[in-house]
A and B are shown apart, each in its own frame.
Chain A
Amino acid sequence: MAEVSLRKVVKRYDDVEAVRGIDLDIADHEFVVLVGPSGCGKSTTLRMIAGLEDISDGDIMIGGDVVNDVPPKDRDIAMVFQNYALYPHMTVAENMSFGLRLKRYPKAEIKSRITEAARMLDITDLIDRKPKQLSGGQRQRVAMGRAIVRNPKVFLFDEPLSNLDAKLRVQMRIEIKKVHQKVRTTTVYVTHDQVEAMTLADRVVVMNKGRIEQIGTPNELYHNPATRFVAGFIGSPAMNFVPCRLEDANERLHIRLTDRLAFPLPGPRAARYQSVSRNEPLLLGIRPEHITEARPHPEPGVEPFQAMLDVTEPMGMETLVYFTLEATQICGRVSPNAGARDAAPLRMAIDLNNMHLLNETTGLVI
């Protein structure tokens, strides 16, 4: 087991920079998820750590050693691929033992490691089957087993759950988390699914256009996003962004959304945003759960307003409501008992204690 460090890592394909200088430190035993939209460079970064891609610039260190020119087999890593990449002509046991057999481990050692991994992944009964006789979820388990038996310094996962159906994905997500709790191997996991990232990671690395947007624990990213990209990417339904500006009225700082709609800011927020230019075009970032139905005795900072709902989506435990503010569609989450109906007005409330203010031009959270 080991820590992994990336220093100003760059990947260029001809003239295109796929990865544009990444700095990242992954601690021993840590589970780090690289997440971002397709083409953000997350898979390339993982493949550079694996040694499947050369790095154009910078350094990659595994366990303190620079491995820039070390071939994959000498990096002591194991990788799980999206399409499982099981050897079709080998049984499950042979698939799992392939790496150990190449390294000429003693037979008894190989056998005990396979037995142990198979037990951990609940595939003991499948050990003599060929991959084509297995379901997608079972194949994914075997692929993980192949990584576990090697007992490597680092596990690399490249979108391992993308080929599974939604239900199985949730189940395997839990399996992966359990496995990590048992083996505690440093893990780098790539996904485009922010839910997977949030649920699995000790720390999430949000990537966009070849750069790291933000690194943080799932809760940090959720509650304190640094940029508009992170704010919009993490969380489902996504955060609402409403064009707004600040203005002073009645000796209090207000946030004005439309000509007719403006709210006074609660004390701490007002203090934080006091220095922001009053003419600057800004964005109010607010998550759907902070736009709810109005309640009789609101806390300070929770401001009521009247909304004309366009569409409602009952989810059972909550109802998602959609309405428009000057051509911006806004999503709110209300109680199923709030009486929200399609094309009907509803008294709503916005919780400004949990608002974010973003600079519209730079996209940074203020």
Chain B
Amino acid sequence: MSTLAIDKAGPTRKIKYGSISRDRAWALRWSYFFLVLFAIFSLVPPFYMLITSLKSSAEISAATNPWWVFHPTLSNYVELLTSNQFLRFFWNSTIVSVVVVIVTMLISIPAAFALARMKFWGSATLATGVFLTYLIPDSLLFIPLFKMLAVVQDLTGITLLNRWYVLLFVYPTLTVPFCTWIMIGYFASIPKELDEAAIIDGASWLQTLTRIFIPVALPGLIAATIFAFTVSWAQFLYPLVFTTSIDQLVLPVGITTTLIKGDVFNWGQIMTGALLGAAPPLIIYAFLMDYYIAGLTAGATKG
């Protein structure tokens, strides 16, 4: 009797499956639309650079379709890669960026650890202060920095200005605050019990940092490293101000100073130089992108 009733009360209306997946499909369509738009927007300039770098000077100035190469040539690449000057810029950039990354990490990691974990008087204010210094634009800072280094140079007699290694002192003013800030957030997301367990296990503060915090926060450290490298590699204003002699220049400044002579723009080589200069960060991003994103988001939601 009752089973009969249940049978009769079975669904008569056709259930509409897939309304959720239809919504999802539309959401996806829109996402793809904007992603494609964004991809075009950001990929056109490098594409244009690539096209131009493959052209001879004659073709660049000729009134042909600027979006196509009719007589591709590698002469720009050959010229730059065999030019001692360009290789010097590249070398300067490399050594400055690598050393700055190392210096930044040596300062930021212990600083972030101290600010995140050792509760001392004023630590919270100091952490905020570190971030605030990052908010001051370098275009405001370069004159006082120049003055300071000039005074130091006068007092000590050590030549700093117009030497590539002056950048080793200048760049960390940009990289250290931000990297410290990222890592404070990352360290703060590590449960407190973890360092307490380490302390009870007999670890000192330094051992807790090196044996527990650094391995656990590795994605965050890699993100900070990439950031420090990118900032150092792409920095333009400071090297423009602090270095002037050709053999002391880093890549971004070197390209613009040597390849633009008066009002003559050597476009082919400028584009080639810029592309070659963009290659190292691009390669690093490609390999470490996942870490970079994980690190940035962890820093974003904490602290």
Contact = CB atoms under 8 A, between A and B. Distances in A.
A120 B5 CA distance: 60
A85 interface: yes
A88 interface: yes
A28 B197 CA distance: 24
A85 B197 contact: yes
B216 interface: yes
A88 B215 CA distance: 9
B203 A102 contact: yes
B200 A50 contact: yes
Contacts of B130: none
Determine chain B's interface SS by DSSP, over half rule: helix
Contact of A102 (B193, B194, B196, B202): B202
Contacts of B7: none
Given A73-B202, A85-B197, A102 B207 contact: yes
Given A52-B196, A102-B207, A85 B191 contact: yes
- Residue from B201, B207, B212 with most neighbouring chain A CB atoms (10 Å): B201
Contacts of A81: 193, 196-197
Given A73-B203, A99-B202, A87 B196 contact: no
Contacts of A82: 193
Q: What interface size band does chain A fall in?
A: 20 to 34
Given A87-B216, A88-B216, A73 B199 contact: yes
Main secondary structure of the interface of A (DSSP, over half): loop
Nearest to A77: B200
Nearest to A73: B202
A162 to B, nearest CB: 13
Contact of A89 (B200, B201, B215): B215
B201 A73 contact: yes
B206 to A, nearest CB: 12
B199 A83 contact: no
B300 to A, nearest CB: 21
B198 interface: yes
Contacts of B198: 87, 98
A72 B199 contact: yes
A83 B202 contact: no
A79 B196 CA distance: 9
Interface string A27-64: 00000000000000000000000111000000000000
A102 B201 contact: yes
A309 B218 CA distance: 63
Interface of A: 50-52, 71-73, 77-79, 81-83, 85-89, 98-99, 102-103, 146, 150
Interface of B: 191, 193-194, 196-204, 207, 211-212, 215-216, 218
User: What are the 9 tightest A-B residue pairs by CB atom distance, in nearest-first order?
Assistant: A99-B201, A85-B193, A73-B202, A85-B197, A89-B215, A81-B193, A102-B202, A72-B200, A79-B200
19 contacts: A71-B199, A72-B199, A73-B199, A73-B202, A73-B203, A77-B200, A78-B200, A79-B200, A81-B193, A81-B197, A85-B191, A87-B216, A88-B216, A89-B215, A89-B216, A98-B203, A99-B201, A102-B203, A146-B201
